[in-house]
């Protein structure tokens, strides 16, 4: 029978058939497969030996699988001709890739098998351990029938209960500040959460002398009234984080309404459609982007009460607050922010009713932004507002002619700006430091009598901390910000003194309350002791008091003395009497003692015991 045309072209001359083999009736692809199957089924052939595998007792190893080209060699030798099957004509590179893929698959299978067996062994061991523990704990119940099934169910129930408790605990108390997780409270007192946030000593040596009025900052802020909190936000001082705390993290009767996707929140007073907070996240940049002290003091009253008549405007108290930061860290953080494309072009810099001219405040760059500028170029610009930014934003610029540098000499100008910034900072209602987050939270709560929901977090890793500078660069940055360095030293000293003063006052208040409670308990004890003694002296209450006048006088005198004693014990904690009041009380007591001279010996003994006990 003639071969098809495809077989004739592909195979060329016909192959010689061996005796007993069937004639080829199909294309070469199918015929080569038939030849391979015949070679594999014939005993003693190479293909049969490859398919049969190694002899019994000999291990292949996990990488000793038969190669893909061995059946091909067997089939070609079986054909007895120089012609190989068509799929044996594959490129050598492709066959090698297939072999590598097969080898990697074998390694993956081995790893999965080892992992599965290891987990199974671990589970088996854990089951034995839990079973042993369970048998030790519930040993007396072993006599109950069908113990294995019951113990397995009970063990499963205990494990599920434990997992459920862990999930509930993580949901209710996700942070590490949870009181339930402070197990060391049973063995040692709780650490002070405000101690040494900057890894330095909690006590410091004050450099400045402040009066009691400067240290005691307690604002009578009535959120239902007309007072307003104004937040002065200095760039790169952590003001964004603090501003979010003000609108999202304060316990209020009417919390701020913050909607998803909106930057501003609605912070109305209870029962009024009027805001109590003037900040970026409540009213927006109503006085310009990052308005300074000079802009806010002239802009805020006009923005809040601009639509009202001057005679109808309420007498408000504007409580200014701000956040300061270490000048070197703040400077590096601003440089990194400018590198990313920040310009603050929307800042108005309004002073004395007008913005500065281009000659008074030149620009440090010519393009749209200053992105990608190196640190050296950032420091070399003499008009860079990042230099001494905190002093400039906290001072009254009208004292030095605003941005006109020709009004006074530079040395005098710097001195006036620094003194103005210190004075404004000291008389502010509150200011905090970025390096002391928990102390900032504490002082704000004590100043405004407003508590935060969750504690502040101290972030020691920032973009500025990732910038590595040598000592020379650091000294140059400190030189460019020498006014900010002095202001920050002054602010840090005042801040820590205020914190220590408030803590001492809190401890004194707690001590005074404990003394009041102690004196109250003493008074209760004396009252109970007097009642029991009076009942012992008068065992027959049905007896007519007129029949025993000495006893009646004794009881009345003791009652008067006891009332005076109770009043002294309960009122001495609130206020100490003056010497004149002490003399008058002594005269009254002596007069009462003379009028009650017929008291019994038991009453004198009781009063003497009370005086001795006191």
Which residues does the annotation mark as catalytic? 290
The strands making up 430-433's β-sheet, listed across from edge to edge, are: 277-278, 228-232, 318-324, 430-433
C-alpha 410 chain-centroid distance: 43
Question: Are 360 and 403 spatial neighbours (Cβ–Cβ below 8 Å)?
Answer: yes
> Which tokens sit at 384?
């860079």
CB 395 within 8 A of CB 424: yes
Q: Partners of 433 in the beta sheet? A: 324
Rounded to whole angstroms, how far apart are CA atoms 312 and 271? 20
Distance between CA atoms of 382 and 359, rounded to whole angstroms? Answer: 13
What does the alpha-carbon distance between residue 524 and residue 413 come to, in Å, rounded to a whole number? 68
SS3 442: helix
Q: Which value, to the nearest 10 degrees, does the dihedral of the CA atoms of residues 445, 451, 452, 458 take?
A: 30
CB atoms within 10 A of CB 500: 16
Q: Are 20 and 85 in contact (CB under 8 A)?
A: no
Contact between 493 and 207 under an 8 Å Cβ cutoff? The reply is: yes
Instruction: Show Cβ contacts of residue 490 under 8 Å, excluding neighbours closer than 6 positions.
Output: 208, 422, 425
CB 242 within 8 A of CB 432: yes
Rounded to 10 degrees, the C-alpha dihedral 595/599/601/607 comes to -70
- β-bridge mates for residue 318, sequence order: 228
- Distance separating alpha carbons of residues 510 and 518, to the nearest angstrom: 12
Q: Tokens in use for 412?
A: 């005098």
Residues 577 and 585 sit within 8 Å (Cβ to Cβ): yes
The β-bridge relationship of strands 277-278 and 318-324 is unpaired
- Cα gap 392→385, rounded to integer Å: 9
Name the nearest CA neighbour of 447 among 601, 598, 221, 165: 221
């Amino acid at each position: 029978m003639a071969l098809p045309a495809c077989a004739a072209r592909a195979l060329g001359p016909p192959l010689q058939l061996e005796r007993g083999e069937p004639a080829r009736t199909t294309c070469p692809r199918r015929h080569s497969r038939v030849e391979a199957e015949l070679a594999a089924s014939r005993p003693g052939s190479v293909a049969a030996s490859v398919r049969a595998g190694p002899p019994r007792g000999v291990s292949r190893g996990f990488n000793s699988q038969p190669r893909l080209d061995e059946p091909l060699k067997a089939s070609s030798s079986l054909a007895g001709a120089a012609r190989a099957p068509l799929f044996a004509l594959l490129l050598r590179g492709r066959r090698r890739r297939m072999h590598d893929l097969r080898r990697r698959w074998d390694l993956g299978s081995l790893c999965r098998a080892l992992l599965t067996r290891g987990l199974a062994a671990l589970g088996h061991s854990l089951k034995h351990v839990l079973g042993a523990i369970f048998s030790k704990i519930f040993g007396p119940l072993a006599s109950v029938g069908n113990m294995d099934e019951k113990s397995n169910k009970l063990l499963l129930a205990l494990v599920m209960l434990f997992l459920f408790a862990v999930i509930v605990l993580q949901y209710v108390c996700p942070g590490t500040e949870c009181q339930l997780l402070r197990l060391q409270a049973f063995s040692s007192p709780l650490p002070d959460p405000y101690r040494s946030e900057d890894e330095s000593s909690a006590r410091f040596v004050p450099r400045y002398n402040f009066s009691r009025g400067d240290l005691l900052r307690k604002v009578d802020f009535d959120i239902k009234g007309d007072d307003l909190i104004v937040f002065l936000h200095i760039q790169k001082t952590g003001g964004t984080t603090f501003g979010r705390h003000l609108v999202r993290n304060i316990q209020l009767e009417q919390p701020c309404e913050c909607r998803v996707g909106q930057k501003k929140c609605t912070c109305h007073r209870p029962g009024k459609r009027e805001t109590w907070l003037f900040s970026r996240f409540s009213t927006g940049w109503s006085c310009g982007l990052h308005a300074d002290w000079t802009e806010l003091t002239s802009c805020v009253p006009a923005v809040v009460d601009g639509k009202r008549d001057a005679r109808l405007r309420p007498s408000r108290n504007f409580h200014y607050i701000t956040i300061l930061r270490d000048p070197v860290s703040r400077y590096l953080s601003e440089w990194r922010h400018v590198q990313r494309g920040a310009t603050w072009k929307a800042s108005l810099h309004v002073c004395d009713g007008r913005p500065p001219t281009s000659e008074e405040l030149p620009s440090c760059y010519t393009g749209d932004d200053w992105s990608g500028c190196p640190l050296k170029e950032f420091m070399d610009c003499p008009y860079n507002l990042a230099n001494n930014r905190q002093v400039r934003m906290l001072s009254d610029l009208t004292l030095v002619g605003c941005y006109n540098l020709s009004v006074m000499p530079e040395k005098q100008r710097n001195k006036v700006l620094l003194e103005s910034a210190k004075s404004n900072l000291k008389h502010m209602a509150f200011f905090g430091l970025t390096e002391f987050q928990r102390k900032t939270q504490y002082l704000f709560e004590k100043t405004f009598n407003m508590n935060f929901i969750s504690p502040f977090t101290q972030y020691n890793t920032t973009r500025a901390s990732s910038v590595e500078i040598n000592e020379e660069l650091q000294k140059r940055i400190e030189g460019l910000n020498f006014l900010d360095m002095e202001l920050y030293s002054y602010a840090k000293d005042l801040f820590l003194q205020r914190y220590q003063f408030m803590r001492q006052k809190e401890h004194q208040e707690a001590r005074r309350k404990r003394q009041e409670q102690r004196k109250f308990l003493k008074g209760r004890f004396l009252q109970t002791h007097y009642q029991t003694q009076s009942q012992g002296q008068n065992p027959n209450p049905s007896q007519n008091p007129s029949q025993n006048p000495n006893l009646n006088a004794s009881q009345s005198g003791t009652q008067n003395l006891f009332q005076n004693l109770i009043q002294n014990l309960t009122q001495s904690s609130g206020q100490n009497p003056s010497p004149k009041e002490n003399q008058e009380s002594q005269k009254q007591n002596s007069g009462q003692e003379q009028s009650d001279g017929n008291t019994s010996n038991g009453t004198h003994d009781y009063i003497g015991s009370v005086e001795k006990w006191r």
